[in-house]
Structure 1
C-alpha cells in the first residue's frame, strides 16, 4: 500500500478471519469501501490481512451477517505506541526530565576565568560582573552578549586598556590588558611635514627638523612646512621631522531644516515575550497575549541553546515591544535658524579632529522656502595642517 506511513499515524491492525464463506465476507468488505491490504490465505478457511484501526467498527458490523470469526493478531501505529508510552510514563518522564536538566545545566555559567589582571583589578572586574548579573549558576539567556560585556567593562573600569571576552561552553574567559603597561617608543622614519590643505599659519612648534615657513604665511596643499634635512647643505643630516603647525582653515556647509516635522519617541512602556524557536516553529514560553500598543518598535534577541558541548539548532528568543508616540515639532523662524546653525556646527565637527577649534562663523545665505529654512555658513577653523611625507633616497641627495 502506498500510504502506509499515513495509516501508521491513524493505527493499523492485523486481522485473522476464519470460518465458512470468507470470500463472500471479503467481497462485502470491498463493496463497503473498506481498505484492506497484505491479504494472505492460510488454509481453506483462514485469511489474514491488514486494515485501518478506524475501520474496525465497520468490520464488526459485517461480521454479524456472516459465520466467520474475527481475531486481531497485531496492533501497530501511533495510537498503540502512545498507549504503551503512557503505560510506561515513568520512564518517559524520567528520560525527558533528564534531557531537560542536562540542557539547562549546559546553558548555565559554571566558570569565570580572568587572565592578565592584577589581584586588585581582578577583584574589581568580578565585582562589576556580579553587578551586571554575570555569575556562576545563572542562565546565559538572561545575560548580555560578549560584545556588550566587553564594552561595559571597558567603560566602567578605568584601569583597563582592553579586555577580551570569550564564552567557551559554560565558562567565560576574560583576557585583560591594563593601562599601566609602559608604552613602546614611537619609531619614526626620515620624513618631512607638509601642508595638507590651504591655510594661514597662526601657531608653530618645531620639535625636530628645520622650519620652512613663518607665522601668518599662507600655505597650499603639499607645501613643505618642516624639513627633515638639517645641518650644512653639503653634508645634510636626514631626520624625522616632528612638530605642530596650526593654521586657520575654511569650511562651507549648507543645511536644510523643516519648520515642522513629525517623529516618534518612546514613552517607557514595553512588553517582553520569550519563546523557543526551532526552524520556523516558535513555542511561546513567557509574555502571552496580543500587543495592545498602537505604535511600537520590535527588538529581537536570540540566544543559542547548547546540549553539553554541542550547539543545538534551537534558539531562545526575546522579543521586546516598545511603545512609541508620534510627536509633532514646530520651530519658529528664529528657532529654526539657531537649530540649523547647531546642525551645521555638528556637521563641521564630524569632519575635524578632536584638537581642532572653530574660531568663527559667518552666515552667507539664509532663506525660507516650502516650509524649510535653508542656510549656508562659512566657518573659520584652527587645526593642525601638517602631515608626514617620507623622505626618499632621491630627496636627500
Structure 2
C-alpha cells in the first residue's frame, strides 16, 4: 500500500472497472509499473482500486486495448482540493478580505477617554496626544508601549502628578491625577536665624531682623546669625527674621578610580530584521541571512495584533542588531586623579542643596594601589546656612 500522505499530496483517483479481462488488465498495469492499490472485487465482478493522478494518462492508453468499461469515480488529494478552491476562490477571497478589514479596524483608535482632569488640562493632554500620533482614526499598532506613553505625557504636561494609561479594545483610557495647589502658608511668627552647621560667613542678604555676625567670621552650629528682636532695649519688637546667610562649609570624600577602564561603543553597523511571531515561534519575513557581528546588542520591539478587542497570539517583531566594539583605555596617574576628583564632585553635588556651589577642592592624599588611584579630596562649598528658630518666652 502506498504511503497515504504521499498519495494525498500527489493526488489519487478511485477507478471502477466492469467487463471482461479485468484481471489481465491489472497484471499488465503491474508489468508496466502503473501502481494500483486498495483493489476490491465485488461478487458482480466489478473491481475498484486507486491509481495515482500521475499514472491516469498511461492507464487510459492501456485500458483501450481491453473490452471493459472504465469509470473514474472521484479524485482525491491536494491537486483536487486546489482545483475546488480555485473554483470557489471568490468566496474565500471575500472571507479573507473581510477578516483583514476587521483586523485593520481593530488596530485603529476609535475613542480617547480622559477622566479626572479639568477642561483645560484635558485640552492640553489631547494636544500632546495629537503630537504623539494618537487620535481618532489613526493606527495605534506602533503606539502600544503604554509605559513609554505614560512617561511622555507626564514629562510634557506640567500640572499633573500621575496619569494612568490603558488600552481597551480600540479605546485609550487615561486616568489623570492633577497637582494640588499648595495651601497658602500662614505668615511666620517671630523667629531668629541660626547656623545649621559650622562655617565661615561669605556673604549675607538680610530682609528682616538684626544681623549679629559679619563676613569672614567663623560661626558654630546653632549660633544665632540674625536676631528677630529689633529696636532699642526699651522698645524692642519681635519680628520674623528673614534672609540668607551664605557660608563656606567643608566636606571630605574618599574615592577610587581605575587606571585601566574597559568600555564598549557601537560601530554604526546595524541590521534590521522583520518577523512575524505566532505563539512563541518567530518567522523572519525580511532581513534574512547570517549576522557577521561577533559582539552585538539586539533591541526588540514587539507589536501585538488585535482582533475585535482581543489580543491575538500573532505579533509583528522588529529586531535591530547593532555591532559593538570593546576598548581598553589606559590613563596616566594625572588623568586618573582628575577623573577621580570629577567623580567625587558629582557625588557631592547629589548630597548638597541645589542652590549650593563648590568653591574649591584640595587633594589631601593620593596613592596608586592595585591598579587604582585612591584619593582623599577636601571640598569647600558655599551654601545657605541660615535656619529658622522660633522665638520662645525664654528668649
If the length of structure 2 is used for normalisation, what is the TM-score? 0.67
CA 1:300–1:154 in structure 2 vs 1: closer, same or farther (change >3 Å)?
A: same
- Cα 1:77–1:120 change in 2 (3 A) is same
Q: Which runs of 5+ in 1 are unaligned?
A: 186-199, 204-213, 218-246, 384-397
Cα shift at 1:315: 0.4
Q: Which residue of 2 aligns with 1:374?
A: 373
Cα distance per residue 1:85-126 (max 9 Å; x no partner): 112222121111111000111111111111111111111111
> Does the 8 Å CA contact 2:341/2:377 hold for their aligned counterparts?
no
**Deviations 1:164-187 (Å, cap 9, x if unpaired)?**
11111111100011113568x9xx
Q: 2:259 aligns to what?
A: 257
- How far apart are residue 278 of structure 1 and its match? 1.9
Cα 1:300–1:123, aligned 2, differ >3 Å: closer, same or farther?
same
Give the 3 Å change call, closer, same or farther, for CA 121–216 of structure 1 in structure 2: closer
Paired position in structure 2 for 1:228: none
Q: Indicate conservation of the 8 Å contact 2:264/2:324, yes or no.
A: no
Residue 328 of structure 2 is aligned to residue 306 of structure 1: no
The answer on 1:172 being equivalent to 2:155 is no
Alignment of 1:180-329 (within 5 A): 180=180, 202=198, 251-258=253-260, 261=262, 263-265=264-266, 267=268, 272-279=272-279, 280-282=281-283, 284=285, 297-322=297-322
The 3-state SS of whatever aligns with 2:153 is helix
Alpha-carbon distance, 1:54 to partner: 3.0
Distance 1:182 1:262 in 2: 46
Query: Which position in structure 1 is the counterpart of 2:154?
Result: 154
CA distance in 1, matches of 2:18, 2:342: 99
Compute the displacement of 1:58 (Å): 4.4
Secondary structure of the 1:138 match is coil
CA-atom RMSD in angstroms: 4.0
Counterpart residue number, 1:140: 140
CA distance in 2, matches of 1:361, 1:171: 60
SS in 1 for 2:133: coil
Partner of 1:109: 109
Work out the number of aligned pairs and report it: 323
Kept after mapping to 2: 8 A contact 1:116/1:175: yes
Within 2, Cα distance between the matches of 1:274 and 1:140?
Answer: 19
How has the CA–CA distance of structure 1 residues 342 and 249 changed in structure 2, closer, same or farther, with 3 Å as cutoff?
closer
Residue 188 of structure 1 corresponds to none
Q: Which residue number in structure 1 is paired with residue 203 of structure 2?
A: none
Alpha-carbon distance, 1:43 to partner: 4.2
Q: Partner of 1:80: helix, strand, or coil? A: helix
List runs of 5+ in structure 2 lacking aligned partners: 186-195, 200-218, 223-248, 384-395
Q: Which residue of 2 aligns with 1:100?
A: 100
Q: Aligned partners of 2:164, 2:366: CA distance in 1, in Å?
A: 51
